[in-house]
């Protein structure tokens, strides 16, 4: 189930709110666990078993780590085994198809059958969450969770279950035991949820329709059309993903949780290094904490640091989807980050802000071409549409596409920057605000509902991951 859908908004959410606030505090986690499993099973009921298996595996691994707390060797064995099983599950369900189809390119393996595995929704997210728990429990950063319901709630918690943020166990350990609920927190949560819903439904979906038109014929776009298309996708993926994160964090607040912020105006970054501190922050943190630093980070010399950077970025790329273009996309950023580390960053710091931001934005936009074309041929054709005039500079259709979506693109640009938020904060203490905010919220919600009712076009980009 996705948040921006009618069944979620008008059936699941009201029912969950009633159930959650009707029960006493000690039963709240159990309610969350049950509804989260229902939420997860809505699309593919059989995968509830997978989820339950993943919860049990990591729960018992945590318990064993507690039992062996004085026996480092056994402790290490438990950790290694648990991480391997987690990765095998992820590998099997997410990458088996890619692995087999790639092997089949070799004549010797052409007999292999195509594995028919439907990707379990959110597996990349909850596997990483669970691993953060076992690794931190091993390191002694948190105590093993003895209560299975509490632990299950952490893994399956529906707000962040299918598209993040990737919440580390250590960040919510206390909140899982005791958390407070208040109307103030709830109001903040509703505000953020509505904001995220608008980003997803009003901006991302409309931008997605523009991109779909351009993407359908990658080799036939005039230069203008190709740029309008990739700009639309650039904004679409941001509003899609950050909208979902906002909704997740907002829902979390309603249920008393404080999750980490996942996006911080990434398109205003002034270097690629800065961009990755602002984009999908929880994933970056995860790779830093559990891959980059354990590999030695920057403490073992420049050469080793380079290797580490490339390992992390290859993994980051392929985490985004089981297709080789994602690896390419990850490595592209690996190269850019390495170049920045070895000098460019210093230059960028001295350059005018407008220039360094333009540099960053342009490279990120080019990256999205790598990201969204799984076929290399289409990718190349699209690049050549962007940078040559082989289909002409513009056509009436490309111009119409731009002009009929200019207000949308401008809105997208405004909401990608902190401008809107600053205006909002400056108004906050005005008296009229108290009346206007609920009115604006209600109007926004009605518009989102109208949009959802009027179209079934509602695919979530991050479902694949």
Catalytic residues: 320
Query: By rule CB under 8 A, what string of x and - marks binding of each residue 14-33 to other proteins?
Result: x--x----------------
Our CB check for other proteins shows the closer of 40 and 151 to be 40
Q: Output the CA angle 398-404-407, nearest 5 degrees.
A: 125
Residue 115 DSSP class: P
The smaller minimum CB distance to other proteins, of residues 46 and 70, is found at 46
Q: Which is nearer to other proteins, 118 or 358 (CB)?
A: 118
Nearest-Å Rg of the Cα atoms of the chain is 23
Q: Is residue 264 packed enough to be buried (19+ CB in 10 Å), middle (13-18) or exposed (0-12)?
A: middle
Enumerate residues 363-422 that contact other proteins by CB under 8 A. 396-397, 399-401, 403-408
Q: How far is CA 423 from CA 97, 243, 414, 427, in A?
A: 48, 19, 11, 6
> From CA 419, how far away is CA 357, in angstroms rounded?
16
Query: Among 20, 42, 68, 424, which residue sits at the site for other proteins (rule: CB under 8 A)?
Result: 42
CA distance 159 to 250: 9
Does residue 191 belong to the site contacting other proteins (CB under 8 A)? yes
Among 190, 291, 315, 335, binds other proteins (CB under 8 A): 190
| Nearest alpha-carbon partner for 229 in 34, 369, 426 | 369
The single residue among 56, 148, 149, 209 that binds other proteins, judged by CB under 8 A, is 209
Stretch that binds other proteins, among 69-77, 147-155, 301-309, 439-447 (CB under 8 A): 439-447
Two tokens, residue 283: 């994933």
Count the Cβ atoms, other than its own, within 10 Å of residue 62. Answer: 25
* Least distance in angstroms from the C-beta of 411 to other proteins: 8
Residue closer to other proteins, measured from CB, 137 or 412: 412
- Per CB under 8 A, which of residues 54..83 are in contact with other proteins? none
Q: Which stretch binds other proteins (CB under 8 A): 209-217, 332-340, 359-367, 369-377?
A: 209-217
What is the Cα–Cα distance from 375 to 323, expressed in whole angstroms? 9
Name the residue among 211, 269, 263 with its Cα closest to residue 235: 211
Q: How far is 96 from 83, CA to CA, in rounded Å?
A: 18
Q: If you count them, how many residues does the chain have?
A: 465
100 is an interface residue for other proteins by CB under 8 A: no
445 interacts with other proteins by CB under 8 A: yes
Q: Does 456 bind other proteins (CB under 8 A)?
A: yes
- Smallest distance from the beta carbon of 237 to other proteins, in angstroms? 19
Rule CB under 8 A: say whether 181 interacts with other proteins: no
Q: Is 85 in the site for other proteins (CB under 8 A)?
A: no
Closest CA to 229 of 386, 108, 65: 386
Binding site residues, other proteins, CB under 8 A: 5-7, 9-11, 13-14, 17, 42-46, 183-184, 186-187, 189-191, 194, 206, 209, 216-217, 396-397, 399-401, 403-408, 434, 437-438, 441-442, 445-447, 449-451, 453-456
């Amino acid at each position: 189930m996705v948040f921006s859908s009618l069944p979620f908004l008008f059936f699941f959410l009201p029912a969950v709110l009633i159930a959650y606030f009707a029960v006493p505090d000690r039963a709240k986690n159990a309610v969350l666990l049950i509804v989260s499993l229902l939420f997860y099973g809505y699309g593919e009921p059989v995968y509830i078993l997978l989820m339950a298996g993943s919860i049990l595996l990591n729960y018992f691994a945590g318990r064993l780590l507690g039992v062996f707390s004085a026996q480092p060797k056994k402790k290490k064995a438990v950790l290694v085994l648990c991480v391997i099983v987690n990765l095998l599950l992820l590998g099997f369900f997410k990458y088996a198809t890619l692995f087999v189809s790639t092997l089949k390119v070799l004549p010797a393996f052409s007999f292999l059958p195509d594995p028919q595995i439907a990707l379990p929704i959110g597996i990349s997210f909850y596997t990483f969450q669970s691993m953060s728990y076992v690794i931190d429990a091993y390191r002694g950063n948190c105590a093993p969770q003895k209560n299975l319901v509490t632990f299950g709630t952490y893994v399956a918690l529906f707000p962040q279950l299918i598209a993040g943020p990737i919440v580390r166990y250590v960040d919510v350990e206390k909140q899982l035991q005791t958390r407070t609920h208040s109307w103030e927190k709830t109001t903040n949560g509703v505000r953020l949820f509505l904001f995220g819903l608008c980003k997803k439904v009003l901006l991302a979906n409309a931008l997605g329709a523009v991109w779909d038109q351009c993407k359908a014929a990658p080799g036939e776009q005039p230069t203008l059309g190709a740029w309008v298309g990739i700009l639309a996708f650039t904004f679409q993926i941001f509003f899609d993903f950050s909208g979902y994160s906002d909704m997740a964090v907002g829902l979390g607040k309603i249920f008393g949780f404080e999750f980490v912020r996942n996006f911080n105006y990434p398109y205003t970054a002034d270097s690629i290094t800065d961009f990755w501190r602002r984009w999908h922050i929880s994933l970056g943190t995860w790779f830093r904490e559990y891959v980059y630093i354990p590999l030695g980070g920057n403490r073992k010399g420049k050469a080793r640091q380079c290797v580490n950077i490339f390992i992390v970025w290859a993994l980051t790329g392929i985490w985004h989807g089981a297709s080789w273009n994602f690896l390419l996309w990850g490595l592209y950023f690996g190269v850019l980050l390495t170049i920045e580390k070895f000098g460019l960053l210093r230059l960028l710091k001295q350059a005018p802000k407008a220039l360094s931001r333009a540099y960053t934005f342009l490279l990120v936009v080019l990256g999205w071409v790598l990201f969204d074309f799984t076929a290399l041929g289409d990718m190349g054709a699209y690049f050549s549409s962007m940078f040559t005039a082989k289909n002409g500079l513009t056509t009436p259709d490309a111009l119409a596409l731009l002009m009929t979506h200019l207000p949308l693109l401008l809105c997208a640009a405004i909401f990608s920057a902190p401008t809107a938020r600053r205006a909002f904060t400056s108004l906050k203490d005005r008296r009229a605000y108290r009346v206007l905010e609920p009115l604006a919220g209600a109007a926004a919600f009605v518009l989102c509902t109208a949009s959802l009712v009027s179209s079934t076009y509602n695919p979530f980009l991050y479902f694949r991951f």
